Structure 1
Amino acid sequence: MKSRVWLAGAALSALVAGAARADDAAPTDISEVVITALRVEQPRAATPATVQVIGEQELTTQQTLSHSAVEAVAALVPSFSPTRQKLSGAGETLRGRSPLYLVDGIPQSTPLRDDSRDGFTIDPFFIDRVEVVFGSNAIQGIGATGGVINYVTVPTPQESDGWAGKVMGQTTFDDEGEGDSFGYKVAGLVGRDFGRWDFTAGAAYETRGAFYDADGLRIGPDSTQGDIQDSDSWSLFGKAGVDLTDSRRIEVMANHFELQGDGDYIVVNGSRATGRPTSGWRGKQLGEAPRNKVSSIAIAYRDGELLGGAFSAQAFAHDYKGTFGGGREGTFQDPRIAPVGTLFDQSENNSEKLGFKLDYERGIDAVPGFRFLIGLDGLKDKTYQALILTGRKWVPETTYESLSPFVQLRQALFDDRVHLSAGVRQENATLKVDDYTTIFAAGGGVAVAGGSPSFEETLYNVGGTVTLIDGVTAYASYAQGFTMPDVGRVLRAINTPGRNIDSYLDVEPVVSDNLELGVEVNRERWRASLAYFESKSDRGALLVLNSGGTFDVQRQKTKIDGFEATLRVRVADWLTLGGAYSKLNGRTDGNGDGVLDRDLNGANISPDRFTAFAEAAWGPASLRLQAQTYESRSFEGEPAANSFEGYTLVDAVGTWRFAAADVSLGVQNLLDEQYITYFSDTQNPTDNARYWAGRGRTVTLTVAKRF
């Protein structure tokens, strides 16, 4: 066995063997947490949907194994897709549909030109917890056809007893000790409560080395969509609040995040025929390296005693730039600039958002147990995609404006053992596009008349929960969610003269109808849940591979159904065991005849998955072992080469809490399983440049201190 593996195993054994007595490692009890993503303050027993909260302790453990919030979500949420381990999250879904990523309620997505980079917009060091609301809903507006993933940032200190904060140092390397696999991270956060006002601020920097598979082969970079290996990221975060009175508070949050590849490796094609994955050689990529650059700022106000109710308001601004790798693709060629086949260019997606959210919630004394929430959301999203080396606009500047009033009603009955809820949201949206000319590859460059197509959509939800006996709650709900089709792909591809945006562009939203039935058990030593769901869309938005090797969005009828089951048992004071199972079925109408005649493919639905874990804690030491099994899958209507073989991954994390600091050792892919990632295995069956293996055994050492 390799020397570094012996070292990792010995260290983990020492963490356990040197322990003395149990320590409580229970997860966040969401029955006691206000889920801000739901926009109402209500107990878990009143929520007719599956909700999961990934608490600070669980996040800290997962960050010892991986270095992104997306991977933490993928490891802990049953029906989330296996990640691509790349900067792009295309094909990463929740219950087979795209989730809406939020940071403190600020939308991170770019639906007008969806580049699937919205999972990498904040450093996980600044996240306090992750709220996951499963299934289609319109609680937060556009984009949540699969659910909501809300990153809630760290709070400011709330005690006037001096400075408080945390610092962390981390190093990561391949278990074979390859020098270019070495990476490290340093981060710090400090704050103080001064009485009436408080603040916290921090910074983080991380450099990532090359990734290696279990066979010791360097994993090839995604030089077009972007990669997280061979990259650097840095982040600044700040939050400050003022208590105007005991019930009124104003708070400001700012976040800046940049992740950019170093571009030190070039792709070496693999071979799907022989099973050799895509690799990488040292060499400088041409053009600018792929990058995410994100800045967000929000100001929030809350009055907990306004006219007998609670009023909250938030205004935000969000600026995003996503740079993609370059090439000499036919799409970029223009003989007016350079001879065909020689023109090198690359694109950058730009999105600027301004928005606000207004909520007012209260009860009515004359109707015991009744509460209502009324609100108004406004959003302006200006998006375009540029070819940055030649100064061309690939997708013209497109502005989405919406104003959306909503009302949500809730009635508690029978001493709060029954909760009924219903709501309606009215979306009023307009898409504005000025006159523009496409690039040369689209019909030689054609003039397109601008326009302002619009739509109105009324979205409903209704649900109820029943406490059958103490600790056992059943629920049922129906909810609608919506998103925009990727209009940017349509606008940039118009190749026929005389088109008019008002009559040509289909802006009808993708509306998904979600039905869910579930039961949850919360006992002293064990918790369990079972949920069945069904999601339909008459005109869905699917990723479909085109002849050029990239994905188009097609409007097709879809249906997804499945179930999730979870179990967590505290076997002894020092030992907790648990697991989960999720199963998904997805069908679509491939020929437009209204019949669901083929399976959703791997770009649109995740494999069935079983997870298991064991957590042990003695005194200052703790250990977590976790395993994920992705089951094999074939797809009716897809090439046989796109069938998924399945694989199992095992991870381990050990922590010792010294007086000076906490020391953790994490081993990702403990058994050094060689596998092809799900997205690579189920897509592009003839593309040897995107046949990527997953990471092999990887070791991460973390030293952290709170003060």
Structure 2
Amino acid sequence: MRYVLLASSALVSVAVSAQAMAEEARPDETIVVTAARTTLPPSALPLTIDVISKDSLDQQVAISGSVIDAVANLTPSFSPSRQKLSGAGETLRGRSPLYAINGIPQSTPIRDGSRDGYTIDPFFLDRVELIYGSNALQGIGATGGVVNQVVVNAPREEGLSGRVLVQGSTGNFESNSFGGKLGGLLSYRQGAFDVTGGVAYETRGLYYDGAGRRIGIDNTQGDVQDSKSLSFFARLGYDVSSTARLELFATRFNLEGNGDWVQVTGNRATGLPSSSKRGDIQGEAASNRVETVNLTLTDTDLGGGNLIFQAFFNRSRDIFGGDVNATFQDASIAPNGTLFDQSANRSRKLGARVSYERQFFEALNVTLGFDSMWDKTQQDLIATGRYWVPPTTFRTLAPFGQANLKLFDGAVRLAGGGRWENGQLKVDDYVTLASYNSAQVSGGTRAFDDLLINGGVIVEPAQGVRAYASYAEGYSIADVGRILRSVNGATQSNFSIDDVNVTPVISNNREVGIEIKRGPLDASATYFWSTSKDGGLLVMNSAGVYDVQRQRIEIEGFEINLAVELPVDGLKLGTGYAHLSGRTDSNKDDKVDIDLDGANISPDRINVWASYNRGPVSARVQAGLYLDRKFDGAPANTAFSGYTLTDAVLRYDLLRWGGITLAASNLFDVDYVTYNSQTIRSTAAATDNARYFTGRGRTVTLGWDYRF
């Protein structure tokens, strides 16, 4: 089937569309996608863009419980969710996306703890914006695209308003599988002033798979099962004038494991997945705490243009579970094989962003801006007070400009721009761990800069028929922390930071495609290919720890989406397909020779869905078919066997008393091993029995929410 689809994709015109999410209603041209950093509608941009609306987001969160799962369910080219706190290996179009809250980066590229998908409770979100493919619109990190989480809107009406949520969930109705959530949001507006405050608390039980087994808990990397989270949101807003607004908001998200269960190792060779049993963990439970503060000044009519200024602070602390890992051993502290330790990532970001957009001659739209950020990150071993990754500071300064020219009354648009990234990486002198033979590394400062360009053409020969082609470059750091901590004194003596490959990953994205939105039909097709000469590849070592290897990476693929409104009022049907192929250079001869593995690229996938929305009733049934895949150059036991998961959700809005939502994920209780667990490639793959996880079985969620 994939070859038939590939052949049909080849017939697509040289064009790429600002693709609206197939299951969404037909996009309103007044929608402003803030992640694109322009007031132009998506149809005017040579980018593949999706917007998950508030209603769709709430629907998906009721099914799955998180923003990550919502994006994974709706986006064929997003990899299957790991269903863990760690999102390592979760990619968009085969590369890591940048997660942001109102444009504020949540990723920690210097030492990527892969916790950036859990930084705000979805109860406080209005929508999620997705920009596909490598781009530098939001700065560092968007080699796979951007997942921008936009917080709830300020109140428009005078007086008091708010929302309350009460929710419960269970897997196979075992007593220890029950979880619950309480959320409240209160807003008040008086004249030019408004204030909003909210709190959300969630507790999660143990997860069970389709065979009724307790799913193995990941005590080390972190898990969302057997956990609790407490989140706060606050915002103050003031309308300075009829066009200018000053707004300050702050969020705090804290998720931590309860520590009531420990993992039981499985057996990959016999197909026995890991499980869990009652027990007390050693050390602190894995947790994720993120705090974000943002001050924004906007003026929609300053000198005839639109001004946006942001100043932000972001702080995160990711604690990983501890163990007696070979990497942590140091005979000068304790006999080998006895030393317990655990690590914690700590990161602080301080930054400011300003952009000014103005239209000239009713045809030319120009945006100029400047971004700056200081990121200080380190990874500590908190039980013994050692550094695993030394304090490392990254500073970036980036002026940018974008232009969009409308020709022939909008039948043709030309768009393009550039961003000059000036980066500086500073590392103090440090000593690697004893397991890396205590390498003495001389610190220092590394500076680099690059001009990142983008451009595209959009053609709209008839209303509702649109095509485009584009090229864009993205920019990221290849997890410098993993590289720094793995310097080995046995083979690398008199080492300096100048000897470490900490140069950024520059990736590019080329797209062609077409979009048709006429009458009841909503269809699109996109073909893309992306390369990076010195990419960052995750490879697990014999100790079960991921290292980074710098290798050439080439990725290509295509996506097809089709939705149709049926004659039955309120009923829609849709389907989507994504094919990805990724190769890397294993022998460093600048030619790709083996496939990317499951930690770096997602499987081919088909989505099928049906939705109904009329009167007080809304419902959706969706199925994701993950197709089997073999990896050239990988061990046979890393092949993916594929699986199909089906979800359903039903909501009924009461006349005066809110609405009731009933949802079920994995409706048919399929027993399966997760994609990430099936496809691990490492020197320890044959004996990696700890990370052999099954996925969640049928999970039922019942909720009531009330808006006033």
Residue in structure 2 matched with residue 40 of structure 1 by the alignment: 38
Equivalent residue number for residue 435 of structure 1:
429
Q: Quick check: 1:422–1:462 contact (8 Å CA) kept in 2?
A: yes
Cα deviation for residue 437 of structure 1 reads: 2.4
Q: Does 1:700 align with 2:701?
A: yes
Aligned AA (1:667): A
Amino acid at match of 1:577: L
Q: 1:26 offset after TM fit, Å?
A: 5.5
Q: Is the 8 A contact 2:155 2:194 kept in 1?
A: yes
Name the SS of the counterpart of 1:690 in structure 2: coil
- Equivalent position to 2:679, from 665, 678, 682: 682
Give distance in 2, aligned partners of 1:419 and 1:342.
Answer: 65
Distance, in Å, in 2 between the alignment partners of 1:84 and 1:254 is 29
CA distance in 1, matches of 2:229, 2:131: 28
**For structure 1, which segment, 103-112 or 301-310, has the greater mean C-alpha deviation from structure 2 after superposition?**
301-310
What letter corresponds to residue 203 of structure 1 in structure 2? V
Q: In structure 2, do the counterparts of structure 1 residues 430 and 511 end up closer, same or farther at CA, with 3 Å as the change threshold?
A: same
Structure 2 length-normalised TM: 0.94
Q: Does structure 1 retain, via aligned residues, the 8 Å contact 2:569–2:614?
A: no
In structure 1, which of residues 113, 120, 132 is the aligned counterpart of residue 111 of structure 2? 113
SS of residue paired to 1:398 = strand
Contact 1:462 1:478 in 2 (8 A): yes
Q: Distance in 2 between matches of 1:656 and 1:423?
A: 47
1:103-252 equivalences under 5 Å are 103-160=101-158, 162-175=159-172, 177-252=173-248
Check if 1:450 corresponds to 2:448: no
Letter paired with 2:412 = V
Q: Contact 1:438/1:493 (CA < 8 Å) preserved in 2? A: yes
CA distance in 2, matches of 1:165, 1:499: 61
- Shift of residue 28, structure 1, vs aligned partner: 6.7
Residues 499 and 350 of structure 1, relative CA distance in 2, 3 Å threshold:
farther
Alignment-mate amino acid for residue 692 of structure 1: F
- 2:378 is equivalent to residue 384 of structure 1: yes
Shift of residue 673, structure 1, vs aligned partner: 0.6
Q: Is the 8 A contact 2:128 2:148 kept in 1?
A: yes
* Aligned amino acid, residue 88 of structure 2: A
Aligned partners of 1:403, 1:61: CA distance in 2, in Å? Answer: 39
Per-residue CA distance 1:512-546 (angstroms, 9 max, x = gap) = 11100111122232211111000011111111121
Look up the match of 2:6: none
Q: Distance in 2 between matches of 1:655 and 1:491?
A: 51
Matched, 1:513 2:514: no
Match of residue 662 from structure 2: 665
Q: Mean Cα displacement is larger for which, 608-617 or 395-404? A: 608-617
After the TM superposition, which residues 260-299 of structure 1 pair with which residues of structure 2 at under 5 Å, given as runs?
260-299=256-295
Pair 1:320-2:316 in alignment: yes
The match for 1:410 among 401, 404, 424 is 404
- Two-structure CA RMSD over aligned residues (Å): 1.3
**Residue 348 of structure 1 aligns to which amino acid in structure 2?**
A
- The CA deviation at 1:270 is 1.4
Task: Identify the residue that residue 484 of structure 1 maps to in structure 2.
Answer: 477
Q: 1:121 to 1:28 in 2, by over 3 A?
A: farther
Aligned to 1:468: 461
Matched, 1:397 2:396: no
Partner of 1:64 in structure 2? 62
Tell me the distance in 1 between the aligned counterparts of 2:363 and 2:345. 48
1:661 deviates by 2.1
What's the counterpart of residue 575 of structure 2? 579
Partners in 1 of 2:243 and 2:620 — Cα distance?
A: 41
1:459 CA displacement: 0.5
1:565 equivalenced with 2:566 (yes/no): no
> What do residues 459-505 of structure 1 show as CA deviations (whole Å, max 9, x unaligned)?
01010111121011101100000101111112222233754544212
- Rounded to whole Å, the distance in 2 between the matches of 1:346 and 1:27 is 47
Q: Deviations over 1:67-100 (max 9, x none)?
A: 1100000001120000000000000000000000
Contact in 2 for aligned 1:28/1:54 (Cα 8 Å)? no
CA-CA distance at 1:655 after TM superposition: 0.9
| Secondary structure, aligned partner of 2:445 | coil
Q: Is the 8 A contact 1:345 1:389 kept in 2?
A: yes
Contact 2:423-2:449 within 8 A present in 1 as well: yes
Residue type matched to 1:147 in 2? Answer: G
For 1:630 and 1:702, the matched residues in 2 are separated by: 29
Contact 2:469–2:511 (CA<8 Å) still a contact in 1?
Answer: yes
Provide the rounded CA distance (Å) in 2 between the counterparts of 1:643 and 1:448: 39
Flag the 1:502–1:333 CA change in 2: closer, same or farther, 3 A: closer
User: C-alpha separation between the residues in 1 aligned to 2:116 and 2:686?
Assistant: 27
Asked if structure 2 preserves the Cα contact closer than 8 Å seen for 1:127 and 1:152, the reply is: yes
Deviation at 1:310, TM superposition (A): 1.5
134-143 vs 659-668, which moves further? 659-668
CA drift at 1:547 = 1.8
Name the aligned partner's letter for residue 641 of structure 2: E
Q: Which residue identity lines up with residue 98 of structure 1 in the other structure?
A: S
Q: TM-score, normalised by structure 1?
A: 0.94
Matches within 5 A, 1:491-510: 491-496=484-489, 499-510=494-505
Counterparts in 2 of 1:155 and 1:28: CA distance versus 1, 3 Å: farther
Q: Which residue, out of 503, 527, 531, partners 2:522? A: 527
Q: Which runs of 4+ in 1 moved over 6 A?
A: none
Percent identity, please.
Answer: 50
Amino acid paired to 1:471: G
Residue 625 of structure 1 corresponds to: 621
3-state DSSP of counterpart to 1:206: strand
Q: CA deviation at 1:644?
A: 0.2
The alpha-carbon distance between structure 1 residues 409 and 157, as it changes in their structure 2 partners (threshold 3 A), is same
- What SS is found at the alignment partner of 1:228? coil
Letter in 2 for 1:440: A
Q: Is the 8 A contact 1:455 1:507 kept in 2?
A: no
Which structure 1 segments of 5+ residues have no match?
Answer: 1-24
Given that 1:102 and 1:108 are in contact with CA atoms closer than 8 Å, whether structure 2 keeps it comes out as: yes
Query: For 2:382 and 2:349, how far apart are their aligned partners in 1?
Result: 21
Matched, 1:371 2:365: yes
Tell me, yes or no, if the aligned pair for 2:256 and 2:288 is still in contact at 8 Å.
Answer: yes
CA contact (8 A) 1:474 1:520 kept: yes
SS at match of 1:257: strand
Kept in 2: contact 1:27–1:57 (CA 8 A): no
Name the SS of the counterpart of 2:443 in structure 1: coil
In the alignment, the residues of structure 2 paired with residue 26 and residue 43 of structure 1 have an alpha-carbon distance, to the nearest angstrom, of 16
1:271–1:502 distance in 2 versus 1, CA, 3 Å: closer
Measured after TM superposition, the shift of residue 309 of structure 1 is 1.5
Q: Write the letter of the residue equivalent to 1:405.
A: P
Could you list the per-position Cα deviations for residues 275-307 of structure 1 after superposition, in whole angstroms to 9, with x for gaps in the alignment?
221101110111100000000000000122222
Is 2:325–2:543's contact at 8 Å kept on the other side of the alignment?
no
2: CA distance, partners of 1:490 / 1:275: 34
Equivalent position SS for 2:73 = helix
Q: 2:646 aligns to what?
A: 650
Question: How big is each residue's C-alpha offset from its partner over 1:130-173, in whole Å with a ceiling of 9 and x where there is no partner?
Answer: 0000000000000000000000000110111x211111001001
Name the SS for the 2:409 alignment partner. Answer: coil
Cα offset, 1:439, TM superposition = 2.7
2:52 aligned partner: 54
Matched-pair contact (CA < 8 Å) for 2:317–2:344: yes
Distance (Å, rounded) in 1 between the aligned partners of 2:544 and 2:388: 18
Deviation at 1:427, TM superposition (A): 0.6
Deviations 1:29-88 (A, max 9, x none): 253310000001112221111100000000111111111100000001120000000000
- The 5 Å alignment of 1:321-336 reads 321-336=317-332
Matched position secondary structure for 1:652: strand
1:570-618 CA-partner distances (Å, limit 9, x unpaired): 1021311111110101111111112211111111000000001111234
Distance change (3 Å), C-alpha of 1:269 and 1:576 = same
2:661 alignment partner AA:
S
Any idea what the Cα deviations from partners look like across 1:393-450, whole Å, max 9, x if unmatched? 111100001111111111111112211111011111110112222232221x343221
